[in-house]
Structure 1
């Protein structure tokens, strides 16, 4: 189970991703794209009434403006919070993903469950950049970590958690092995992978 502080951290990470996605959605443009957002002096402002967000049009002027101001305030606060968390090493950003760890070492099923309960999944590198970002957390705690990868029905064939085949690998020399008895995958402190049994205790790293 996640501690209260760890739960809040992962929940914030998920909220940051949700907010970023909302502001990048074609139907809901980011704050920088809202006409009249900045005044002549550079200060932030929200246009009144129908000049706000497309999905808010048709609402009373007062409510439309209130929703715009609420989104603006949320965006700014989350941006500051994200900067603090990144600076303190609590979270890491890579591409569209946010990575976070609660520092707990548990078995594979428990690690996956805690990530999913927080709105994410186990960290799953799909390219070299993401692998290096996960490695940064592995080195920070100096602990091996489970990845969101597992052996399929065919021995030696590993897939992502959703069942799709891997499009990127970083296997350690002579890995994978185990002949069907080591179905989970861990990351070493050098960034390489090894398949291991799923009942071992490894660091939990989630992605959102």
Structure 2
């Protein structure tokens, strides 16, 4: 499990690295945008979240559109430095989402899983994860399943997964409608036959189809 201090250290490193990039000779200043703060030394855009100054998401960065319009002006080296900055900001925003939950956090591969320990129904779990910039935890392989299970075991609560029943009773899919490429069903599951459209994880990591109006642990991924 990664501690709060570990994430703050990672965040600090992510912020410091672009500072050097922006101080490189020939790197142009980004345009001034009214009502938007700048991160000191970064020339970038930011906003206040929970009393902390954080960078915008990739899709929210006006400077990304500005950069795309400057390809004929910037040298390839300058453009690469700006792209590195934007990618680091996106990673930092992932950390922000996880830290905002102020609960259990674990990392596997490129994913960060986090929970605030609250138990809510399926729709509320989806909403709470989206509000912090993430998605409901969805294991894509055994390693990710074990990472989610570690949080489930710590809270000793079953958790909803980002999986739903398709239009065909008894067949399940990801939230985007794509078929599952990994499953860990408990024996004789799923067995709801159209009456249990959500999926929960037990403390042993196995899955079971369940109704969506139950209160289960909410675990998000970033």
Q: Same fold (TM over 0.5)?
A: yes
1:182-193 to 2 correspondence within 5 Å?
182-193=196-207
- Flag the 1:174–1:110 CA change in 2: closer, same or farther, 3 A: same
- Flag the 1:133–1:69 CA change in 2: closer, same or farther, 3 A: same
2:115 counterpart (101, 104, 116): 101
Q: Are 2:137 and 1:123 aligned?
A: yes
The aligned counterpart of 1:40 is none
Rounded Cα–Cα distance in structure 2 between residues aligned with 1:129 and 1:157:
23
Rounded Cα–Cα distance in structure 2 between residues aligned with 1:122 and 1:46:
35
Q: Are 2:209 and 1:195 aligned?
A: yes
- Residue 22 of structure 2 contacts residue 42 of structure 2 at CA under 8 Å; is this kept in 1? no
- Flag the 1:89–1:120 CA change in 2: closer, same or farther, 3 A: closer
- Please, which runs of 5 or more residues in structure 2 have no aligned partner? 31-37, 46-84
Residue 113 of structure 1: how far off its partner (Å):
0.8
Rounded Cα–Cα distance in structure 1 between residues aligned with 2:44 and 2:130:
31
Aligned residues: 158
Rounded Cα–Cα distance in structure 2 between residues aligned with 1:107 and 1:89:
18
Q: Are 2:41 and 1:66 aligned?
A: yes
Q: Are 2:171 and 1:157 aligned?
A: yes
Q: TM (normalized to structure 1)?
A: 0.64
Rounded Cα–Cα distance in structure 1 between residues aligned with 2:103 and 2:130:
22
1:28-177 to 2 correspondence within 5 Å?
31=17, 48-50=24-26, 57-59=27-29, 66-67=41-42, 90-177=104-191
Residue 121 of structure 1: how far off its partner (Å):
0.9
SS in 1 for 2:126: helix
- Residue 46 of structure 1 contacts residue 69 of structure 1 at CA under 8 Å; is this kept in 2? no
Rounded Cα–Cα distance in structure 2 between residues aligned with 1:197 and 1:112:
15
SS in 2 for 1:49: coil
Show structure 1 runs of 4+ deviating over 4 A. 68-71
- Please, which runs of 5 or more residues in structure 1 have no aligned partner? 1-8, 24-29, 38-44, 51-56
Rounded Cα–Cα distance in structure 1 between residues aligned with 2:103 and 2:139:
19
SS in 1 for 2:173: strand
Rounded Cα–Cα distance in structure 1 between residues aligned with 2:104 and 2:22:
32
Q: Are 2:221 and 1:207 aligned?
A: yes
Q: TM (normalized to structure 2)?
A: 0.60
Name the structure where strand makes up a greater proportion of residues: 2
RMSD: 3.8
